[in-house]
Chains A and B, each alone.
Chain A
């Protein structure tokens, strides 16, 4: 487990936060660009010295300003994957991978050269120089290099930011595999909410260097007050679901969640697989009566439990359908339908509103609220 607490004044902003990351899970540091996310992991890694604070990994103190403890980066054994890969240009891929390589048995979960090369699918690149690799290949080699140094945890600073959108899907599954194959604790820094929804078990929300919220993804995403930080455009509830059945005739998958079943297209996962569904508030429309003769496959009855009014032409409503669901309506509709807290509504979601981006990868970690 990682425990950190920092208080540090930079020239332009202040970092003030504390959080914990559970062993074997992915914790995401999320915030807009320039909110000090990189500064935070630089401080964890020992590349920047915080004025006040501590860093503890598995009970071992790596930094403590009150006790004057400050382990140098090379003694911390924290893997760091940089946004820009930072492969050593004069070394071949093989020698990059071997640069920090150590052999350590970790109760059967040994990270060996062959295994890493196999998992990351970089066997064909070993004799190449970094200059001849694509962005995605570079990042995979960087992940392998960090893994082989046998880190106690892995920190990733927007590992997909410098990669083409098309290539991102090449890396995401590898990151999911790290937690599941090697049982690694991962700190994932990002400003892309879709990546976080797909990967993170826990979310630490940063706003101008200061922690705004901390909790599981479902909980944070359903909070209307955090939309300015999580992003208004993609705001929406995140539901933990499980593949319940598959309709072969229409290529539809039914996802079970607390409150009902969600029918979506384009999911090719075995029955029983847990995954997250991100239902954007702008994809949800409301009716006062149960709709008939509609093409919409997903209709849920629920009660409005919160109204988020930021004064614009739109409002975000939180609806309890067993799980919290967010819906975005215009102020005009809000008035015309006489919507208010406590009112019963029918929420409609198009099955085709879901794409691979809004459906998270396989969730393997145990979570208390999973079904």
Chain B
């Protein structure tokens, strides 16, 4: 009853891989867009903000369909990637990571943007008067001060990626060993007449995974806060 099958372990491993890659993709981009939204004032600011937040309000299936039309073998970007570099993302785990990235991107941007807005820009001005270039100000003042926000963004994005279902199944389907992540595996098992035990095991995995992520996040956030506030 408690020993998972190879297929279930595979789903767990795949979920972790997809979520990890999703965070790796969203972190640098999220940092960049959070900084732009928090600090820059330009024409189209509200529009950019809206586009970034779309995945949060759209049905995930819509995002998946959009990705399929764009990045599928027949889609304009997908066809180009295939012809020019021989790359295929549709129906692969890389595609699942892209779908997760897009779905979790708004959460990453929001968390980091909030923390950037909370940084006293006076501290950055002070650093400039002390001879620090804008680049040095960013990595020695801004970055350490927003580290709790970055951490929160990572955890939120990671958790969102672990739970991603609609966009993934629409874009990359439900292929065992390739795109069948935890939620998809649970869904498949529930659809199978004798799958309840397996589904239950995966549900337990999911809970443990989510809880562990939250606890680690709490611990790291408390440590970061101590480091900043002394």
Judge: A and B partners, yes or no: yes
Q: Mark A74-95, 1 if CB is under 8 A from B, else 0.
A: 1011111010101011101000
CB distance from A39 to the nearest CB of B (A): 13
Q: Mark B66-107, 1 if CB is under 8 A from A, else 0.
A: 000000000000000000000000000000000000000000
Name which residue of chain A comes closest to B126, CB basis. Answer: A86
Q: CA–CA, A90 to B127, complex, Å?
A: 13
Name which residue of chain A comes closest to B145, CB basis. Answer: A90
B123 interfacial contact with A, CB 8 Å: yes
Interface residue ranges of B86-140 to A (CB < 8 Å) = 120, 122-123, 125-133, 140
- Are A74 and B227 in contact, with the CB atoms below 8 A? no
- Are B122 and A129 in contact, with the CB atoms below 8 A? no
Central interface residue in A82, A99, A129, by most chain B CB within 10 Å: A99
Chain B residues contacting A100 (CB-CB under 8 Å) are 127, 129-132
A149 interfacial contact with B, CB 8 Å: yes
CB distance from B174 to the nearest CB of A (A): 46
Q: CA–CA, A292 to B127, complex, Å?
A: 63
Interface range, B side: 20 to 34
Q: CA–CA, A77 to B123, complex, Å?
A: 17
Interface range, A side: 20 to 34
- Are B132 and A99 in contact, with the CB atoms below 8 A? yes
Central interface residue in A77, A84, A100, A146, by most chain B CB within 10 Å: A100
Name which residue of chain B comes closest to A48, CB basis. Answer: B125
- Are B125 and A47 in contact, with the CB atoms below 8 A? yes
Chain B residues contacting A215 (CB-CB under 8 Å) are none
A145 interfacial contact with B, CB 8 Å: yes
B4 interfacial contact with A, CB 8 Å: no
A31 interfacial contact with B, CB 8 Å: no
Interface residue ranges of B187-230 to A (CB < 8 Å) = 227-230
Chain A residues contacting B228 (CB-CB under 8 Å) are 89-90
Chain A residues contacting B140 (CB-CB under 8 Å) are 99
- Are B229 and A86 in contact, with the CB atoms below 8 A? no
- Are B130 and A146 in contact, with the CB atoms below 8 A? yes
Q: Which of B123, B130, B144, B229 contacts A131 (CB 8 A)?
A: B229
Chain B residues contacting A80 (CB-CB under 8 Å) are 126, 129
Q: Which of B127, B130, B229 contacts A89 (CB 8 A)?
A: B229
Q: CA–CA, A132 to B126, complex, Å?
A: 20
B36 interfacial contact with A, CB 8 Å: no
List 13 A-B residue pairs with CB atoms under 8 Å apart, sorted by A's residue number. Answer: A47-B128, A73-B128, A73-B129, A74-B129, A74-B131, A82-B122, A86-B120, A86-B125, A86-B126, A90-B227, A100-B127, A130-B230, A132-B230
A-B residue pairs, 3 tightest by C-beta? A129-B230, A100-B130, A86-B126
CB distance from A217 to the nearest CB of B (A): 27
Q: CA–CA, A90 to B139, complex, Å?
A: 13
CB distance from B145 to the nearest CB of A (A): 6
Q: CA–CA, A146 to B125, complex, Å?
A: 13
With A86-B123, A88-B141, A90-B144 as known contacts, state yes or no: A149 contacts B130, CB within 8 Å.
yes
Chain A residues contacting B230 (CB-CB under 8 Å) are 89, 92, 128-132
A348 interfacial contact with B, CB 8 Å: no
Name which residue of chain B comes closest to A77, CB basis. Answer: B131
A45 interfacial contact with B, CB 8 Å: yes
A72 interfacial contact with B, CB 8 Å: yes
Q: Mark A158-176, 1 if CB is under 8 A from B, else 0.
A: 0000000000000000000
Chain B residues contacting A146 (CB-CB under 8 Å) are 129-130
A343 interfacial contact with B, CB 8 Å: no
A102 interfacial contact with B, CB 8 Å: yes
Q: CA–CA, A193 to B149, complex, Å?
A: 44
Name which residue of chain A comes closest to B141, CB basis. Answer: A88
CB distance from A276 to the nearest CB of B (A): 31
CB distance from B159 to the nearest CB of A (A): 27
Q: CA–CA, A267 to B128, complex, Å?
A: 42
12 further A-B contacts with Cβ under 8 Å, apart from A74-B133, A86-B120, A90-B144, are: A46-B128, A47-B125, A79-B129, A80-B129, A84-B122, A86-B123, A90-B228, A99-B130, A100-B127, A102-B131, A131-B229, A145-B130
Q: Which of B129, B132, B227 contacts A45 (CB 8 A)?
A: B129
Central interface residue in A86, A92, A129, A132, by most chain B CB within 10 Å: A86
Q: CA–CA, A150 to B125, complex, Å?
A: 17
- Are A73 and B125 in contact, with the CB atoms below 8 A? yes
With A131-B229, A132-B230 as known contacts, state yes or no: A86 contacts B132, CB within 8 Å.
no
Q: CA–CA, A45 to B230, complex, Å?
A: 30
Chain A residues contacting B227 (CB-CB under 8 Å) are 90
Q: CA–CA, A78 to B128, complex, Å?
A: 10
- Are B127 and A88 in contact, with the CB atoms below 8 A? yes
Name which residue of chain B comes closest to A92, CB basis. Answer: B230
CB distance from B227 to the nearest CB of A (A): 6
Chain A residues contacting B126 (CB-CB under 8 Å) are 80, 82, 86, 88
Interface residue ranges of A129-155 to B (CB < 8 Å) = 129-132, 145-146, 149
Q: CA–CA, A131 to B228, complex, Å?
A: 9
